[in-house]
Structure 1
Amino acid sequence: MASGKSQLSNRVRVSRLNNVEKREESTSGFDEDFILELSDSIRESLDRGEIGPRWEEAMGFLAAAFRDEANKEPLMDLATIERGRLDRLVADITDPDKRPMDEPDRYARDVRLAERLEWRWRSRFRERYFSIQSSRYLKLPKTGRLKGVERDFEVNNPGEEWRIKGTTRFQAIDRDAAFKPGHWWLNLACAQRDGIVDNPRETPTVGRFGGDTLPLLTGEEFEDPVLKDTTTYIRNGGLADMHVSLITKVGTVMRVLRGHNLNSPFAPRYGVRYDGLYKLAQYGQRFYEKMKTDRMFLILERVKTQPPIEDFEMVPRPSQIDDWGLYSQYAEEQVKKRLGDKGFLN
């Protein structure tokens, strides 16, 4: 049997125990994007009460990592564990509340492997292992998903409480390469930072690299019972909330962002997600005298030459949900610093 040292070579990408390929780019020696994808896949499956199709692949990777721990200088470093969410993966595997409904014969053995690997990591890294979440929290506003964004205490609208810092420098990126359906942000200010919208408000906008974008953060959206890939969006409010400029955009294809406060079967669980291209097929607006409110309705038709929305409905994925938890904690701390505990409770 090959040793853990050979299977976790610092010049390979680990995918399966017997399927490795050379890799030069990663300073840690591992394809961290691959590891994160594998970790997210298993954690998603456990959340559904099953082991999923990549279980054997993941356990092969963890077995190789465990064998490597017997070496004098193990190759797995703490940075790879942190970025690949391997600490969260082994914690989920050993969590009795996440046991699959139909346990395979090997499951108890695999749980034991995860427990032993977790113990090895705790013994080797000691307090640094227990501080991984604190490390992620500290990095969130500096190099993480909140980089270049700060709280705007002058705004209270859901999803609009953040803004880009005045010192933020925008990167020149290719719009088409940067924004694929399923792209996810913590809030609309983060989306503005990356250039898909030009302000952090729930209003039709043109991104920094061109193209119309329609954020749907609040309101209601319904699937058409007859027409596939067609939805009706409804928004109540004052005249300023009616997006009157969309009258001139009927027939236009635009990018649609959905937020978690949107009442829609397609809304993400948390944050803001780019859901692809839609054609604005119809715009309507009416004032209701009895309710003293305006109502806007839009009919949106999803462009068919793109992946179905089912392909990324799982977004945000477990690692992104981890970041959402840190973001919520950070947001609370920002309010407490500004307003104090009494202001936060009010």
Structure 2
Amino acid sequence: MAFPVLLRKQFRLDELFEDNSESSGDDSIDPDFLRNQARWIRDDLDPKISQEGPEWLKPDQVVTVFKFLEQLRRSRVPERHIRSSRIHLAVALIAGQATRWPGSVVDVADKLLENWSIRYGEISEIGIDLYDEGGRLHGICLPTDLTKEVLEVKWSKASGSRTNPPFSRRHGDLGVFKPGDWWINTMLAYHASIIDSGNPLGRIVADKHGAYAIIMNELDELDSPRPDIFTYKAKSTEPGRFRLTAATPASRQPIRVLRAHSLRSFWAPKAGLRYDGLYKVSGWSIKQDQQSKAWNYDIRFERCSTEPPMSEVLRHPTAEEVDDYTEYKRIRHVTRLTHNTFHRAKPLREPVRMVQPLPDTSLAAGGEGKMMTTGISRPNAPAINLNERLTAPAFRPKQAARSRLRIELPTPPVLPDNSTAVDPEALFGEALTIPSPTKAPRTPIREILKTVLPLPGLGGVKKISPLRAEMTPAQQGAQGDDYFSLPTPPENQQ
């Protein structure tokens, strides 16, 4: 019995949806739809593909992404919608060098990036909205707000500001925060009023009535087998540790826990500051350090059962939040350099065309014998004439110092060559004497001793030491002059 033979043919996605038509000029794609698709690609699909490979993608997901990219390629999306939705970052992620996306999806992503490059310029120059309308920091601060004091004064004067401490010094989630909320740094978390200060150090938010929140960074987290159970190491200088360990009803209230990216923990965010939810104190231990003799408070926390699972919290920061953190750091660095008076920008490098002087061959024909110029030429490039470079430079007066920190040292004076050499045979008092140009030369000690008058009672007799008096004349001659004897001045000699 014969059975029919079934022939199967595999088609590529670009063959099924091949369309080389020009852009239709349709910009009816909703920006919110673009933003949701970019988040889906960057936060859900790409991390799994990077770990598991392209086989992890389901066929319907591959078709959905391919059709979405083809729709973008055939549409003329405005640049402002691309920037606000950040879809260009998702497409660039698919077409990256180390991508593991299917080849058909990568090909259409390359075509889309090429079209956008022709239409809008470099993809990296499109950027993101951070301080502009729709950005995370729009209406909160400006790139020039570099200090904590400036931000505190600015926020205190804003209408409806909640940066006053009484708002954040309350128990619970304050009715406006949910686990997974994220901020670039502690100052912006202070602006949101989840904490009472923008102090970047890890600490306990507390007052005389109790503790309300803790900010963990560096070595504050000791033992954390799971993200919902950890041990907090309170600093010896932190007064809020007594509120956490007090045997009062206020010490049993839920505490808001925030983890900073500087925290040395597996559960720390990779950027910024994240709110992980409400925790309760389950116990503590007090130990004394043998070296510093300080008392260490190790406080154990457990997550409240009413909070959402930590798997959703650990998804933050998302790709967009990491973009905001990176862009904030970049703009802040550039702004600090431009506001630094001692920073000197590097000069711009412009193309240069060298002009080589050559003798004019028209001299034999009665010419003036001038120099001709030729060489490498580029459009709109400054020319450098080698004739001017080879001539002696004109005299230019000495310019003032370019920096206020530069110290001009005076030129050392030229000393006259009338120094006195050291006499190796001298017993004492001889020294190298170099006269100073501002004061008289110093008189050697031997010259001073020659003019000293004899002591009273010595007369013209030369006194010698008692030990020398007991020696014979031969022994005195062998020993030499006596250091204790003073010579008789010439005018007093008999």
1:44 aligns with 2:47: yes
Distance 2:260 2:64 in 1: 37
- Any conservation in 1 of the 2:31–2:85 contact (CA below 8 Å)? no
* Deviation sequence 1:14-49 (CA, Å, 0-9, x none): xxxxxxxxxxxxxx5543552342133234335546
Structure-1 separation of matches of 2:228 and 2:131 = 41
Cα drift, residue 272 of structure 1: 0.5
AA matched with 1:186: I
Question: Secondary structure of the equivalent of 1:220?
Answer: coil
Root-mean-square deviation (Å): 4.0
The farther-off stretch of 300-309 and 330-339 is 330-339
Counterpart position of 1:82: 83
- Unaligned ranges ≥5, structure 2: 1-15, 168-172, 345-494
Query: Corresponding residue for 2:474?
Result: none
Partner of 1:114: 109
Determine which structure has the larger helix proportion and give its number: 1
Question: Superposition pairs for residues 128-277 of structure 1, below 5 Å?
Answer: 129-133=123-127, 136=129, 139=132, 143-145=135-137, 148-149=140-141, 150-152=145-147, 165-166=154-155, 167-170=157-160, 178-201=176-199, 202-205=202-205, 212-223=212-223, 229-236=228-235, 238-240=236-238, 243-248=241-246, 249-277=250-278
Q: CA deviation at 1:9?
A: 8.0
Q: Closer, same or farther in 2 for the Cα pair 1:312/1:224, shift >3 Å? A: closer
- Corresponding residue of 1:104: none
Q: What are the Cα deviations for residues 171-224 of structure 1, in whole angstroms up to 9, with x where unaligned? A: 689x66642211111111111212222221343337xxxx93222133232446
Letter in 1 for 2:109: A
Q: CA deviation at 1:64?
A: 3.6
CA shift, 1:323, in A, is: 1.6
TM-score by length of 1: 0.70
Q: 1:300 to 1:54 in 2, by over 3 A?
A: farther
Task: Say whether the 8 Å CA contact 1:230–1:301 is kept in structure 2.
Answer: yes
| d(CA) in 1 for partners of 2:152, 2:38 | 29
Q: Is the 8 A contact 2:131 2:137 kept in 1?
A: no
Change (3 A) 1:220 1:214: closer
Q: Partner letter of residue 247 of structure 1?
A: T
Which structure's residues are more often strand, by fraction?
Answer: 1
Distance 1:91-1:33 versus aligned 2 partners, 3 A rule = closer
Describe how 1:15-94 pairs up with structure 2 within 5 A. 28=30, 30-40=32-42, 41-48=44-51, 50-51=53-54, 56-57=60-61, 60-61=64-65, 63-67=67-71, 69-70=73-74, 74=76, 76-94=77-95
My pick for the range that moved more, 316-325 or 183-192, is 316-325
Cα distance between partner residues in 1 of 2:103 and 2:215: 46
Residue 88 of structure 1 deviates from its aligned partner by 1.1
Asked if structure 2 preserves the Cα contact closer than 8 Å seen for 1:250 and 1:283, the reply is no
What SS does the corresponding residue of 1:204 show, helix, strand or coil? strand
* Higher mean displacement: 44-53 or 32-41: 44-53
Q: 3-state DSSP class of the match of 1:91?
A: helix
Paired residue type of 1:165: K
Q: Which moved more, 1:193-202 or 1:288-297?
A: 288-297
Q: 1:138 to 1:303 in 2, by over 3 A?
A: closer
Question: Which sections of structure 1, spanning at least 5 residues, go unmatched?
Answer: 13-27, 101-106, 155-160
- SS of residue paired to 1:221: coil
> In terms of mean alpha carbon deviation, does 247-256 or 319-328 score higher?
247-256
Q: Larger Cα Rg: Structure 1 or Structure 2?
A: 2
Residue equivalent to 1:124: 119
Q: Secondary structure at the match of 2:302?
A: strand
| Aligned residue pairs, count | 301
